[in-house]
Amino acid sequence: MHEMGIVMHLAKTLDELAEEQHITKIGSVTLQVGEVSGIMTELFTDAWDYFKGRHPVLAESELKLETTPAVTYCEACQKTYETVKYGRTCPHCGSGETYLLTGNECIIKEIEAETEDQEEGEAVVTV
């Protein structure tokens, strides 16, 4: 149950952030999910909908998932290519000595939140 574990950590990370930043309510959470991270988005969203109910600050939040492309690096010709299209064999030189550069990550990009001391209007805070 890979997705469940990630969601539990995500909820805990956001709970801690909410306390630090005096956040009262989180409206949305945007994640960047690598194309080949192995995360099944439907299962992930289901797990999120289940767990958010246990965290008051997250209860009404929406999960937004953005996909980041997978890129593979070829040791033999030192070029990069699209992982999903060509798999493990380099389309430039045919070598199999390749490894993934990006596409395996899962990062919290941003959240929309209300804080205790929030004034009128929109503000962007970088943490």
Partner 1 sequence: MKVIELHKSVTASNDADAEALRKEMKEKGTLLINLMSSPGSGKTTLLSRTIRDLSSELKIAVLEADIESAVDAERIEALGARAIQVHTDGMCHMDAGMTRTGLEAMGLEQIDLAFLENIGNLICPAEYDTGAGRNVMILSVPEGDDKPLKYPLMFQESDALVITKTDTLEYFDFDVELCKKRARNLNPDIRIFTVSAKTGEGMNDWETWLKEETSAWKQK
CA atoms of 71 and 97, how far apart (whole Å): 14
Parallel, antiparallel or unpaired: strands 23-34 and 106-115: antiparallel
Cβ-count burial 103-123 (b if 16+ within 10 Å, e if not): bbebeeeebebeeeeeeeeee
60 binds partner 1 (CB under 8 A): no
The number of residues that bind partner 1 (CB under 8 A) is: 41
Q: Which amino acid is at 16?
A: E
Residue 47 found at the interface with partner 1 (CB under 8 A) = no
Query: Rule CB under 8 A: is residue 22 a binding residue for partner 1?
Result: no
C-beta of 16 vs 69, nearer to partner 1: 16
- Alpha carbon 74 to its chain's center: 26
Query: Residue 53 Cβ, how far from partner 1 at the closest point, in Å?
Result: 19
127 near partner 1, rule: CB under 8 A: yes
Which residues bind to partner 1, rule: CB under 8 A?
Answer: 1-2, 4-6, 9-10, 12-13, 15-17, 21, 27, 31, 38, 75, 88, 96-100, 104, 106-115, 118, 122-127
